[in-house]
Amino acid sequence: MKFQVLDIIPHLKNPVTGGIVSTADRLNQVVRTARRAEELGYDSFSVGERHAGEFISSSPTTVLAAIAAVSRTIRLQSGVTVLSVLDPVRVAEDYATIDQLSRGRLELVVGKGNEVLQYPLFGLDLADQWDLLAEKYALLRRLWREEDVTWSGRFRAPLSATATTPRPFAGAPRVWHGSATTLTSAALAARWGDPLFTANAIQPRENYKVLIDHYREEYARHGHDPRHGYLGSGSGAGGVFLADTTQEAKRQFGPVYEALTAARNVPGNNSPFRDIDHAVAEGPSLVGSPEQVIDKILSYHELYGHDLQSISLPTTLPFEQQLDILERFALEVIPVVRAAAPTTLWESADPFGGRPESAGATEPDAASTVSADHDNYRSDHAHVYAH
């Protein structure tokens, strides 16, 4: 299995302490986390896109470009690019620029998003969200594959003999499709032979299995090679939290998780896992001992057969503590899951495989800052590491 770190860049107060970092600090934390994830051997880093609510991820291309400039090997993804509300020409240009800056490390994840308020913000009708996604994705594919595009459709002005610049680094980047609530995104991914990314967040896992099964059935019906029908999976909205025992993890993180869940009582975007015991027992949140988290990931893998596991850090906690969780997950969870659940994703058998080496990092060295901060944290909390 491969591993992704996803940040949709929520900007929230810690509901227990009331603490919150500045916007500038929060955005810089995303870049620093990505650099640390690369050092720890994570396979990809993903930046979300939101245009409403308590998020500062309205410009994921800017953040991904900043990450591209200070990283070398980690793949860069979006999670998701809300293509339904965007101009495909702009998307083609912006993300091809990131692909060039990173020398071919970009992979897009597209979707219609799960925030209904973004449609009136962009002057669009929510009723058109699926038609918008299908039409815009078909155009995006052509813009990345052709240099003489003549096109007309319902939702934007026609194009005549158009070539977007820059061109992608080495052919069109791979595109995944985010799927959360309906069969439509799964069917669109299957139609084009693209991989699927199941949100695996706020519904029972059996509901996501229905979408995954539909994707695989349609993928085969369209005649695509089943070896390349890759699947990614999220891990809920709570974030990863590790401790020596599951009981200790719940004791430490439970108050934060439950307060955040209570504050997000938004119709249509509300977790049914209201308390930490429910979330750990039945939800996808990766909270517990390393052994508990390993068992949970592998139990989902047994049901889903996914190739890429996405995790998110609990971003209301102190940043140094987030880095500690990131490191512990890399050292104690990832090796066991990789051995138990091998995949060809990003390996030689994958058409998009082969990890880019030393691709495009500029001079230093956010990494030294991150490492120094983390070392200071470990020194200040030496009693934690003594066990």
Mean pLDDT of the chain: 90
116 compared with 138, residue with greater pLDDT: 138
Enumerate the domain spans of the chain: 2-249+285-385
- Residues 50-63 have pLDDT tens digits of 998 899 999 999 99
The pLDDT of 134-149, averaged and rounded, is 98
Residues recorded for the chain: 387
Both tokens of 215, joined, read: 């994707």
Give the Å distances, CA to CA, from 212 to 84, 185, 190, 199, 289. 22, 10, 10, 11, 28
Tokens representing 372 are 């120094």
Q: What is the DSSP letter of 123?
A: T
Domain 2-249+285-385, what fold?
TIM Barrel (3.20.20)
Burial of 302 (0-12, 13-18, 19+ CB in 10 A): exposed
* Residue 372 reports pLDDT greater than 60: no
Q: What is the pLDDT of residue 356?
A: 58
Of the two residues 201 and 272, the one the predictor is more confident about is: 201
Whether 353 contacts 308, CB under 8 Å: no
Which pLDDT belongs to residue 268?
40
* Higher pLDDT among residues 374 and 193, named by residue: 193
Q: How confident is the model at residue 272 (pLDDT cuts 50, 70, 90)?
A: confident
pLDDT for residue 376: 47
pLDDT tens digit string along 85-128? 999 999 999 999 999 999 999 999 999 988 888 999 999 999 99
Convert the pLDDT of each residue in 164-202 to its tens digit.
999 999 999 999 999 998 999 999 999 999 999 999 988
The answer to whether 80 and 48 are in contact (CB under 8 A) is: yes
Residue-level pLDDT at 267? 37
Residue 53 has what pLDDT?
87
Going by C-alpha positions, the residue among 56, 215, 181, 210 that lies closest to residue 111 is: 181
**Residue 128 DSSP code:** G
The residue-averaged pLDDT of 289-310 equals 98
pLDDT band (50, 70, 90) for residue 270: low
Q: How much is the pLDDT for 303?
A: 97
Q: Find, among 2, 1, 8, the residue nearest to 312 by Cα.
A: 8
